[in-house]
């Protein structure tokens, strides 16, 4: 397997995870300013997922700039924020409570 095959495999796995394991939610539902994520965010019990193109807004308007790098991963066209971070977990809890 070469690098490009690896990247393609990762992208496909990420897309499958997004489709199967996450739910699209509006930023306000989880306690964020709507400007943090126009068009919504993906969320599950473990993480919050933003499109790469949304990440700067999420960091600025959502306060995610304060999340330690160890809880932030970029895969494919997405940025994943781990629920192991207290700030992220608070937003996940709001989502769970709204269900």
What's the pLDDT tens digit per position in 37-61? Answer: 999 999 999 999 999 999 999 999 9
Q: What percent of the chain has pLDDT over 70?
A: 100
Residue 99 has what pLDDT?
Answer: 83
Reduced DSSP (H G I as helix, E B as strand, rest coil) percent helix, strand, coil of the chain, to 5: 55, 20, 25
* Tens digit of each residue's pLDDT, the chain (99 residues): 899 999 999 999 999 999 999 999 999 999 999 999 999 999 999 999 999 999 999 999 999 999 999 999 999 899 999 999 999 999 999 999 998
Cα separation, 13 vs 26, in Å, equals 24
Residue 1 has what pLDDT?
Answer: 83
Q: Which residue in 48, 57, 46 sits closest to 79, CA to CA?
A: 48
Whole-prediction pTM: 0.94
């Amino acid at each position: 397997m070469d690098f490009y095959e690896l990247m393609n495999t990762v992208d496909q796995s990420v897309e499958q995870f997004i489709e199967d394991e996450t739910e699209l939610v509006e930023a306000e539902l989880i306690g964020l300013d709507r400007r943090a994520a126009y068009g919504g965010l993906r969320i599950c019990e473990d993480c919050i997922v933003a499109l790469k193109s949304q990440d700067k807004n999420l960091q600025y308007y959502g306060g995610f700039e304060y999340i330690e790098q160890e809880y932030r991963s970029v895969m494919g066209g997405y940025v994943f924020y781990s629920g192991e971070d207290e700030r992220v977990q608070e937003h996940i809890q709001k989502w769970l409570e709204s269900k």
